Chain A
Amino acid sequence: MNTITKATTLKDHFLNLFRENAGVISANSAPFLNRFREDAIARVEQAGFPVKGSEDYRYADIESVFRNDLHHIFGPRNIDLNVREIFHCDVPDLETSLLLLVNGRYYGNGKQLNKFPDGIIAGSLARASVEYPEIVRKHYNSYAGKSKDGLVSLNTAFAQDGIFIYVPEGVKADKPLQIVNIMISDNDLMAQHRNLFIAEKGAEVKIVICDHSLSAHRFLTNSVNEVYTGEDALINLTRIQNEHNGASQITHSYSHQEARSNLTASTISLHGGFIRNNVFVTLNGEHAENHSLGLYLSDKGQYIDNFVFIDHASPNCFSNQLYKGVLDDFASGSFNGRILVRRDAQKTNAFQSNNNILLTDDAKMYSRPQLEIYADDVKCSHGSTMGQLDDNALFYLRSRGIEYKEARLLLMFAFAHEVIQNIKVEALRDRIDDLVNKRLRGELSRCNNCAMQCG
């Protein structure tokens, strides 16, 4: 397999990897997705990999997560495990349509694409590009394709599959669609998948993404989501990141919102050694509304980095960013939020808030809430705080007979709940409350989903 030697740079390594495997990659994907590869790899060559210290990747050491010798699977999938047997979703009352993604490929047990009675299509992106070329063509790479980030182009060059969700005009999905993204392998593995979610005019859908790792190997995921929210459409997207701490995850999300659309995207980061979430939102029609929410609870050597960019390209739009985190041990984290209000985007309301609690002196947090404003009739504000639990609040609780440790947990939980309360799927919200509670108590084992029980 390919390993990165010191003589070649990361970029050269991946350029070579692409040249050597271009045939296999294309043969195991779909012709439409293959069309973008050459152009994308040229962009990787031009842009290179993000460098730590650059404005967008100031604190994230991307190169370090690529440093391990990672394997790639470009050929046919050779998993003969019964994934459904070893993995069971632990959200008890949540009734969802389950979509499985294993090592970056759709795992459909023979059926690559589901068409539900109400017209919703969900399944493999590669398959969808063959069966519904006109839909995929309209949106694929339309939003992420403009990115100058080498990692996005890298995904476009290598991604062979991912999840495709299509909600036709006016259809309101009756139950959430749940994507379970599993990494499982016999050796250290890198996977790159590509998701495409489309909600046409007036459609409504709730999507849940759960990231898990099921074997104790080093994993690296570099995934791209493209989300199209049509006029008057409503999407509720919740992502729970709970891979083990040897896994690294880089996600890119490109959302395009039309007039009067409403997108709420929440990212709950519980476990995972290195997490970088890039969120780009374009508010392309008047009265569009975006809520980007994030909660990160990290300890040990975890690094969690959220990068949010909201582009107010139309007047009268609303956006709200709320990111909160608790950092323990020697964990470090970064938040970078940018609100861009374009010249004619008058009457914009945009808010941004980042609150952090550091529990030790070894934990580090970097926060960069940014405003870039070119229109004068706007209401924009941002706030960022870093601190610790309020002594007065602690005292209040203790004076009422709650012991110190419990009082602390209660306050941290209350701090986190502000983000969680925005999650619209009730069963999921309760479950996340429960997970966060366990996480804060240190009871949530990162391996409790794993059959291997390797510790």
Chain B
Amino acid sequence: MQNEQDQILNDVTTGEYKYGFYTDIEQDTIGRGLSEDVIRQISQIKKEPEFMLEFRLRAYRHWLTMKMPEWAHLNIPAIDYQDLTYYSAPRQKARLNSLDEVDPELLDTFNKLGIPLEEQKQLSGVAVDAVMDSVSVKTTFRENLAELGIIFCSFSDAVKEYPDLVRKYMGSVVPYTDNYFAALNSAVFSDGSFCYIPKGVRCPMELSTYFRINAANSGQFERTLIVAEDNSYVSYMEGCTAPMRDENQLHAAIVEIIAMESAEVKYATVQNWYPGNKEGKGGIYNFVTKRGICKGDNSKISWTQVETGSAITWKYPSCILKGNNTTGEFYSVAVTNNHQQADTGTKMIHIGKNSKSIIVSKGISSGVSNNSYRGLVKVLRGADNARNFSQCDSLLLGDKCGAHTFPYIESGNQTAIIEHEATTSRIGEDQIFYCNQRGINTEDAIGLIVNGYAKEVLNKLPMEFAVEAQKLLQISLEGSVG
């Protein structure tokens, strides 16, 4: 049976990345390199107001004083920031009003990715903002949402149309001084999504952003800002893919969420950037800062992520539980295969009274990959009755991979209750034998077990994503058991 399992493992690890195509589309790019001039140029191309340029330059100057952090359990080759292209956009001749005017090549790309960009796919009930390289290509359902007062548009549009809102909230959760990549993103970010849910509005459909890196040697730096006013609700999804290339590409994004009183925001990510080939060549460096703040009482932010792609993943979607009775949730499945590396987890910062957080992290590593959970639970002095429960499990498939757990637990309140538990194991031969015995072949058995293992998290995903995520898990993993 061991041999058979090894065979299946082999078959699976030779599986190809199916989103690896490249779209030959006319691109507007600016030259490689990073300087104040490049930033001015980006700002100019995007016709931004003065405050944005100032924000970018402040961030850039701050970035220059910073050093790349080294604490992560990752082996990151040196990144030459002067060798990257910081702006690349599908060439647009005029402003688009309907889908017919979108470049057919581009539509084709998104069709291949299976993204419901066409408005006739109303039944799917998902509003999509598609971002290719540096700019947002098309936002669907914008008008329908506007009727409810919901703003859902690209970040550049928001800067022009709602400068007051952008100015008020941008950088309020992740300031440009936050970390190295947040500073870099703040200086050069090109586009992203902006979402504003007014008071008392329950967003009737899932909002979705689809990110695609297409151009070579370019970095993608997008920024998402979600503001949920009192008593509002929104569920947001994010997906990502990139072509297969030999060189590494950098993706450094920022996501900020602000939840006011009794608001609820759900943010789901299925991250499937190109992970590099079997020898670990190429792939995306996914260095993302995601953070939400439960500003008002009784608010709730929930992060769900399925991380299967990227050569290196380095991100910690976090919640600042500032209001009283607030809730933060983090559900994660991180899968690494071949030479992939992941150092991911969350931060739950309890400030308000009766704040609650739950962390469920499921790591799956195979091949020669390394998968780390790193998470902080911090309870400040005033956070009476704060409650946290963390469960971090690791599944090892094969004897050459690594699974690591690095929790940081800091308590400063006597009434706080914090629990953390973690286990590391592999799929037992007895479990496989049990399935075999009942006529389920080894490959299916492993799929079954892995899916069962990840179910707790997958259940938290919106319907549309859950199906995709389950398939992804199967592609990334089925059979890869030792």
Residues of A in contact with B (beta carbons under 8 Å apart): 55, 343, 346, 356, 358-388
Inter-subunit contact A383/B419 (CB<8 Å): yes
What A residues does B412 contact at CB under 8 A? 361, 363-364
Contact with A along B374-399 (1 / 0, CB 8 A): 00000101000000000000101111
Inter-subunit contact B420/A343 (CB<8 Å): no
Known contacts A384-B419, A385-B419, A386-B417; A370 and B405 CB within 8 A of each other = yes
Interface-located stretch among B59-67, B235-243, B421-429 = B421-429
Inter-subunit contact B422/A382 (CB<8 Å): yes
Interface residue SS majority, chain A: strand
Inter-subunit contact A368/B417 (CB<8 Å): no
Contact with A along B346-371 (1 / 0, CB 8 A): 00000000000000000000000000
Q: How far is the CA of A364 from the CA of B396 in the complex (A)?
A: 35
Q: How far is the CA of A381 from the CA of B420 in the complex (A)?
A: 11
Which one of B399, B403, B407, B417 lies within 8 Å of A346 (CB-CB)? B399
Q: A358-B413, A367-B420, A374-B402 are in contact. List 13 more A-B contacts (CB 8 A).
A: A343-B399, A360-B414, A364-B411, A366-B411, A370-B404, A370-B405, A374-B400, A376-B397, A379-B425, A383-B421, A384-B409, A386-B417, A387-B417
Is B415 close to A, CB under 8 A? yes
What A residues does B400 contact at CB under 8 A? 343, 374
Inter-subunit contact B420/A385 (CB<8 Å): yes
Which one of A358, A377, A383, A384 lies within 8 Å of B426 (CB-CB)? A377
What B residues does A373 contact at CB under 8 A? 394, 396, 402-404, 424
Q: How far is the CA of A369 from the CA of B392 in the complex (A)?
A: 12
Interface residue SS majority, chain B: strand
Inter-subunit contact B402/A381 (CB<8 Å): no
Q: How far is the CA of A380 from the CA of B408 in the complex (A)?
A: 18
What A residues does B323 contact at CB under 8 A? none
Inter-subunit contact B399/A375 (CB<8 Å): yes
Inter-subunit contact A365/B411 (CB<8 Å): yes
User: B396: shortest Cβ distance to chain A, in Å?
Assistant: 4
What B residues does A384 contact at CB under 8 A? 407, 409, 418-421
Q: How far is the CA of A384 from the CA of B422 in the complex (A)?
A: 9
Which chain B residues numbered 405 to 455 have a C-beta less than 8 Å away from chain A? Answer: 405-426
Q: How far is the CA of A250 from the CA of B426 in the complex (A)?
A: 39
Q: How far is the CA of A367 from the CA of B376 in the complex (A)?
A: 10
What B residues does A343 contact at CB under 8 A? 399-400
Inter-subunit contact A386/B411 (CB<8 Å): yes
Q: How far is the CA of A113 from the CA of B71 in the complex (A)?
A: 46
Q: How far is the CA of A387 from the CA of B414 in the complex (A)?
A: 7
Known contacts A55-B71, A343-B400, A376-B482; A358 and B424 CB within 8 A of each other = no
What A residues does B396 contact at CB under 8 A? 373, 375-376, 378
Inter-subunit contact B399/A371 (CB<8 Å): no
Known contacts A376-B396, A387-B417; A368 and B406 CB within 8 A of each other = yes
Give the total of B residues in contact with A, Cβ under 8 Å.
Answer: 37
Q: How far is the CA of A366 from the CA of B416 in the complex (A)?
A: 13
Inter-subunit contact B394/A369 (CB<8 Å): no
Q: How far is the CA of A11 from the CA of B308 in the complex (A)?
A: 46
Q: How far is the CA of A372 from the CA of B424 in the complex (A)?
A: 10
Is B8 close to A, CB under 8 A? no
What A residues does B422 contact at CB under 8 A? 369, 371, 381-383
Known contacts A377-B399, A384-B420, A385-B420; A371 and B414 CB within 8 A of each other = no
Q: How far is the CA of A386 from the CA of B399 in the complex (A)?
A: 34
Inter-subunit contact B407/A365 (CB<8 Å): no
Q: How far is the CA of A360 from the CA of B413 in the complex (A)?
A: 7
Q: Which residue of B is nearest A379, CB measured?
A: B425
Is B401 close to A, CB under 8 A? yes
Inter-subunit contact B414/A358 (CB<8 Å): yes
Inter-subunit contact A376/B418 (CB<8 Å): no
User: B5: shortest Cβ distance to chain A, in Å?
Assistant: 12
What B residues does A385 contact at CB under 8 A? 417-420
What B residues does A368 contact at CB under 8 A? 406-409
Inter-subunit contact A366/B403 (CB<8 Å): no
Q: Which residue of A is nearest B425, CB measured?
A: A379
Q: Which residue of A is nearest B374, CB measured?
A: A370
User: B384: shortest Cβ distance to chain A, in Å?
Assistant: 8
Q: How far is the CA of A384 from the CA of B425 in the complex (A)?
A: 19
Inter-subunit contact B421/A366 (CB<8 Å): no
What A residues does B73 contact at CB under 8 A? 372
User: A301: shortest Cβ distance to chain B, in Å?
Assistant: 15
The contact sample of 23 A-B pairs, CB cut-off 8 A, is A356-B411, A364-B412, A365-B410, A366-B409, A368-B409, A369-B405, A369-B422, A370-B406, A370-B407, A371-B394, A371-B405, A373-B402, A374-B402, A375-B399, A376-B396, A376-B399, A378-B396, A379-B425, A380-B425, A381-B422, A383-B420, A383-B421, A388-B414
Which chain B residues numbered 61 to 107 have a C-beta less than 8 Å away from chain A? Answer: 71, 73
Contact with A along B152-165 (1 / 0, CB 8 A): 00000000000000
Known contacts A346-B399, A376-B396; A386 and B416 CB within 8 A of each other = yes
Q: How far is the CA of A343 from the CA of B399 in the complex (A)?
A: 7
Q: How far is the CA of A371 from the CA of B414 in the complex (A)?
A: 27
Q: How far is the CA of A356 from the CA of B419 in the complex (A)?
A: 10
Q: Which residue of A is nearest B406, CB measured?
A: A370
Q: How far is the CA of A95 from the CA of B253 in the complex (A)?
A: 66
Q: Which residue of B is nearest A368, CB measured?
A: B408
User: A390: shortest Cβ distance to chain B, in Å?
Assistant: 10
Which one of B407, B409, B423 lies within 8 Å of A381 (CB-CB)? B423
Q: How far is the CA of A182 from the CA of B481 in the complex (A)?
A: 56
